[in-house]
Chains A and B, each alone.
Chain A
Amino acid sequence: MSKSKPTDSSRDEDRAAEHGPPAVELRGITKRFPGVVANRDVSLAVRRGTIHAVVGENGAGKSTLMKILYGMQRPDGGSVLVDGTPVAFGSPQQAIAAGIGMVHQHFMLADNFTVGENITLGAERRHGIGARAATRIRELAARYGLDIEPDELTENLGVGDRQRVEILKVLYRGARILILDEPTTVLVPQEVDELFGNLRELTGEGLTIIFISHKLDEVLAVADEITVIRQGTTITTVTPAAVTARQLATLMVGSELPSPAAPESLVTDEPVLAVAGLTVRGPAGRPVVADVGFTIHRGEVLGIAGVEGNGQAELVEAILGLHPAEGTLTLAGRSLAGQSTRARREAGMGYIPADRHRHGLLLDAPLWENRMLGHQTERPNAARGLLLPGAARTDTQRILAAYDVRTPGIEVAAGALSGGNQQKLIVGRELSSAPKLLVAAHPTRGVDVGAQAAIWGQIRQARGNGMGVLLVSADLDELIGLSDTIKVIHRGRLVATTDPASTTPEHLGLAMTGALEEPS
C-alpha cells in the first residue's frame, strides 16, 4: 500500500516470516458450475517467498481455483486464508487490496491502450495515470529487469513483451503474491528461461508465486513445491527433487502419459500442396509472411514451428484464402492462387482452426448445422444449392458416435459443449469430407489428454490414407511427434528445416527465436 519502495528491512521481515503462516492457504474449496464440479474439496498451502506450482490436465480446475483466490469466482464451499487470516473476496479489487495479483491464461490487455494505461488501469489511485505513474513503471521495470516502455502502444508488442506487461501490471499494484496461469504457453524456451529468471528475482524480493502449468519439465525446473490437481481435486503436494517427470505425469492423469510416438513415414512423392513465393502483407503493407515456399506430399505431415505472432496465423489464413496473398498455390495439380476460400475448400482443403470460437463453430447454432459449416456446398449437406437437413442430421449422428462427441443430442447449440467436445466435432467434420489437405492449427489446444491422443490417432489415420497435413502448433512435443518434416517460421520467413526424428524442443526453440537463421 505504501508509495515508497520496499526497504531492506521489510525484505528482512519477509524472510523472517518464512516460518510463519503460509502466504496462501486454500482449505476444502469446492466450486460447481452447471453440470460440472470444477473444484472438489481442494486444499493447498503456499509458503511465503517460494514458487509453488499447480499442475493438472486441461479442465482439471486449475484456473477456476485461481480465479477463486483472486476474487473472480466465489467458492461454493471451503475457505481461503491469506497470511493466516481468513478472507472472502467478492471481487478482484479486494484480492488486489490484499496483495494478490494474477496473470491470466489469456492476455488481458487492451490493444488500443498504451502499456502505461494497461498497467495503471484499476490502480489509478496509486500514482495517477500520468507522468508519475510512468516514472514508477520505469522504476519497477528496471528493478525487475522487465524491459518495457510505458508510452508504447500495446498492439505493437510481441507476446514476450505482453507477458512482461502482465507481470508489471501485478507488481505495480504492489502484489506480494503472484498467480501466473500458464504463462509459458506462448513463449519459446529461451523466453521461458528469461521469465524464470525474472520469477526467481521476484521470490528473492520476498514475493510468493503460484505457477500454473501442465508442462512438467518447466515445473520441475522452477518450482519449490508442486501440487497436483486431477478432476478438480488435489491429489498431492510434492517437491521437485522427490519426483521425476514421469511420476508427476502419472499423478496428473492417473495413468501413463501418452506421447505422440514417432510413427513410420508414409510420405509419398506425389505433391498435394505446392506453395511458392507466398507473401502476405499486414495493414501497413509490410510483409508478415514473406516469400514462403514448400511442398506437402500425399501422406506427409509438414509441421510449422514458431513463436506465436511470427506469421503462422497469416500463413494458414492465406492458404485457406482468408487473407489476400501474393504467390502461387497448387492443390493436387490445380492452381488455386486468387481463388476464394469456398473454391479452395471445395477443391479439398480441410481446416481445423486455431480459434474454434472465431473460426470453427457457430456457437448459437445446433450441432447439425455446425456439421454443415464449411461443407455447405457438398453432400451430404447440400445438393444443387439446396440444403439437405435430413441427411446432415443423420451424418451428424454418425460423427458424434465415431469421434466420441459427448452431447445429449444434435439440436443443442455448439456453445453448450465443452471445449474438448467442440474440438472433436470439428475434427470429425473436417475429416469426414476426406480432404486432400488438412490445415490443422493447434488441433489439440485446450483438449484433455485422452481426447488429444484420439485426435492424433485420427489425423495419423487420415494421413495414412493419403492426406497431406499442414500442422501448426505451439506444442513442440505434438509437432515432433506428428510431423514428417518441421519448418521453422520466424518473422514471416521459413528460416530452418529440421527432421523431427533428430531434433529436440531446445533446438527448435533456438531456431524459433531466429538464433539459427539459415537460408531455407
Chain B
Amino acid sequence: MRLAGRIDLVGAGTRLLAPVVALLFAFGIFAAVLGVEGTNATDAFSQMFEYAALPDSQVDILNRATFYYLAAVAVAFGFRMGLFNIGVDGQYRLATLMAAALGSASFIGWLPGVLRIILMVIVAMVVGAAWAAIAGLLRATRGVSEVISTIMLNAVAGGLVAFLNTTDHWGTRPEGSNAVSTPLLPKDSWLPNLPLIGGTEAGVFAFSVVAVIVGVGYWFLLERTRFGFDLRATGYSPTVAAASGVDAKRMVVWTMVISGAIAGLVGLPQLFGESHAFTDSVGGIGFTGIAIALLGRSRPVGMALGALLWAFLDRSSLILDLADIPREIVVIMQGSTVLAVVVAYELAKRLSRRMQRRRVGGLVETSQKEQPA
C-alpha cells in the first residue's frame, strides 16, 4: 500500500510507454515517406544501425550527444519554470567566441594550460549567463516575453559574432584558407579525447564528463534544493509559487542566468576537443536543444536518451547518401518524433490524471459519507 502510494506505477508506466509509442509512430512516418519513394524502410534502417554501430560512429554519437545534451539542459532549465530560452544559440555562440578569443590571446599566454581551460570555461559561462540575463531582466522588469527577446538576441549575438570574428578584430585566416576563426588555442589547453571505445583512434570528448556533471547537478539542484523547488513551483503555477514566497522576478532572472551559463558550455566540447578555435560553422544547436529537452521531458536521464537518439539519427543519416536515399528523411523523422512524443506525453498525462481521479473518487465513494466538492 505504502509502496504503491510512493511510486505511481500506472503513471510511470504510461509515461514510459508514451515515448516508445511516439517513436514507433515516427518510424511509421519514416517508413511511409520512404515507401512513397520506393525504398524499403527496414532496409534503410538496418543500414543506419549497422553504420552507427561502427566504433568511429559510436564515438561521434557520444560526442554529438555531449553538446546536444548541454543545450538541452540549458533549455530545460527554463522549461521547468515555464520559461522558453530560445536564445541558447546566441548565448553559446557569443560565449564560445569570447572563451576562444581569450584562450588564444597572447596576454594570457603565460598561464598554464589547465588554468587557462578553467578560465575559459568560466568566461564562457559568464558570457552566456550575461547574454541570457538581458532577456531575464527584460522579462522581470519590463514584462517583455522571453520568447521574443531571446529570438531577437540571437540575431544580435550572431551579428556581434560575425563582427568580432573577422580578421579586422579577433579572427585570423590561415595562409591560403578562406575560413576565418579565432587563433588556435595553445596545445596545452587542448583537452585529450578519451579512448573509451576500442577499434578506433577517435576518442570521446573529455568535456563529456562535464556534461555528465551538469546533468547530475541539474537533477540535484531541481529535486533536492529549495531553489529547485521554487523553480519547479513557478513552473507549475507562477501565482501559487508567488503566494508561497517565491519572488517570481528574481526567479526569472536567476533561471535565465543559470540557463545561459549552461548554454555557455555548449560550444566548448568542440572547442577543446575538435576545432581548438572558434568557427562560426556550427550553429543551430540551440534549436536542437529545445527538441531534445522536449523529447526528454526536461528530465536529466530522458534528455540524455533524447540526445543520444538525436545524435544517432544525425550520424547514421550520413550513410543514407551513400545508398542514394535522401538524407532529409531523417529531419522529417526528427520533427515528427518531437511532435509525436509531446502529443503522447500529453495523452499519457491526461490518462494518468483521470486514473488518479478515479482512484480518489473510488475511495470517496466507498467511504461512509460522500465527499462533496
A and B: direct contact (Cβ < 8 Å)? yes
Contact residues of A with B, CB < 8 Å? 33-37, 57-60, 231-232, 320, 322, 340-342, 344-346, 351, 353, 357-365, 369, 372-377, 382, 385-387, 389, 393, 406-413, 415-421, 446, 448, 450
Q: Which of the 9-residue segments B62-70, B175-183, B359-367 touches chain A?
A: B359-367
Inter-subunit contact A448/B373 (CB<8 Å): yes
Which residue in chain B gives the minimum CB-CB distance to A36? Answer: B361
Binary A-proximity of B225-243 (CB < 8 A = 1, otherwise 0): 1111110110011011011
Interfacial chain B residues near A411, Cβ < 8 Å: 5-8
Bound Cα distance A346, B245 (Å)? 9
Bound Cα distance A418, B360 (Å)? 8
Q: Which of B244, B247, B359 counts the most A-chain CB atoms under 10 A from its CB?
A: B244
Least Cβ distance of A415 to chain B in Å?
A: 7
Bound Cα distance A35, B110 (Å)? 73
Inter-subunit contact B356/A360 (CB<8 Å): no
Which residue from A232, A372, A409, A448 sits with its C-beta under 8 Å from B5? A409
Q: B246 at the A/B interface (Cβ < 8 Å)?
A: yes
Q: B369 at the A/B interface (Cβ < 8 Å)?
A: yes
Bound Cα distance A26, B358 (Å)? 27
Interfacial chain A residues near B173, Cβ < 8 Å: none
Interfacial chain B residues near A415, Cβ < 8 Å: 353
Bound Cα distance A342, B233 (Å)? 14
Q: B4 at the A/B interface (Cβ < 8 Å)?
A: yes
Known: A37-B365, A341-B243. A406 touches B236 (CB 8 A): no
Known: A387-B224, A410-B5. A60 touches B372 (CB 8 A): yes
**Count of chain B residues near A, Cβ 8 A:** 45
Inter-subunit contact A387/B225 (CB<8 Å): yes
Interfacial chain A residues near B2, Cβ < 8 Å: 409
Bound Cα distance A357, B373 (Å)? 14
Interchain Cβ contacts under 8 Å between A and B, 21 examples: A35-B361, A36-B361, A36-B370, A57-B372, A59-B372, A322-B243, A340-B245, A341-B247, A345-B244, A346-B245, A361-B240, A374-B244, A375-B244, A376-B226, A376-B229, A376-B233, A387-B229, A408-B359, A412-B359, A448-B371, A450-B369
Q: Give me the 3 closest cross-chain CB pairs, A-B, nearest first.
A: A35-B361, A59-B372, A409-B5
Known: A385-B225, A387-B224. A416 touches B356 (CB 8 A): yes
Interfacial chain B residues near A344, Cβ < 8 Å: 245
Inter-subunit contact A416/B353 (CB<8 Å): yes
Bound Cα distance A242, B141 (Å)? 63
Which residue from A34, A320, A373, A382 sits with its C-beta under 8 Å from B361? A34
Inter-subunit contact A408/B360 (CB<8 Å): yes
Interfacial chain A residues near B4, Cβ < 8 Å: 409
Inter-subunit contact B371/A418 (CB<8 Å): yes
Bound Cα distance A412, B229 (Å)? 18
Inter-subunit contact B357/A416 (CB<8 Å): yes
Which residue in chain B gives the minimum CB-CB distance to A407? Answer: B360
Binary A-proximity of B1-27 (CB < 8 A = 1, otherwise 0): 110111110000000000000000000
Bound Cα distance A340, B241 (Å)? 13
Interfacial chain A residues near B359, Cβ < 8 Å: 35, 408, 412, 416
Interfacial chain A residues near B243, Cβ < 8 Å: 320, 322, 341, 351, 353, 358-360, 374
Known: A408-B363, A413-B353, A416-B357. A386 touches B240 (CB 8 A): no
Bound Cα distance A58, B7 (Å)? 33
Inter-subunit contact A34/B237 (CB<8 Å): no
Interfacial chain B residues near A37, Cβ < 8 Å: 365, 370
Known: A35-B361, A415-B353. A376 touches B230 (CB 8 A): yes
Known: A363-B236, A364-B236. A342 touches B247 (CB 8 A): yes
Inter-subunit contact A359/B240 (CB<8 Å): yes
Known: A341-B247, A412-B356. A406 touches B367 (CB 8 A): yes
Inter-subunit contact B372/A359 (CB<8 Å): no
Interfacial chain B residues near A375, Cβ < 8 Å: 244
Which residue from B237, B245, B364, B369 sits with its C-beta under 8 Å from A377? B245
Inter-subunit contact B240/A360 (CB<8 Å): yes
Bound Cα distance A358, B7 (Å)? 27
B:323-373 near A, CB below 8 Å: 353-354, 356-365, 367, 369-373
Interfacial chain B residues near A413, Cβ < 8 Å: 353, 356
Inter-subunit contact A59/B373 (CB<8 Å): yes
Inter-subunit contact B233/A362 (CB<8 Å): yes
Bound Cα distance A353, B229 (Å)? 20
Which residue in chain B gives the minimum CB-CB distance to A358? Answer: B239
Which residue in chain B gives the minimum CB-CB distance to A446? Answer: B373
Inter-subunit contact B5/A358 (CB<8 Å): no
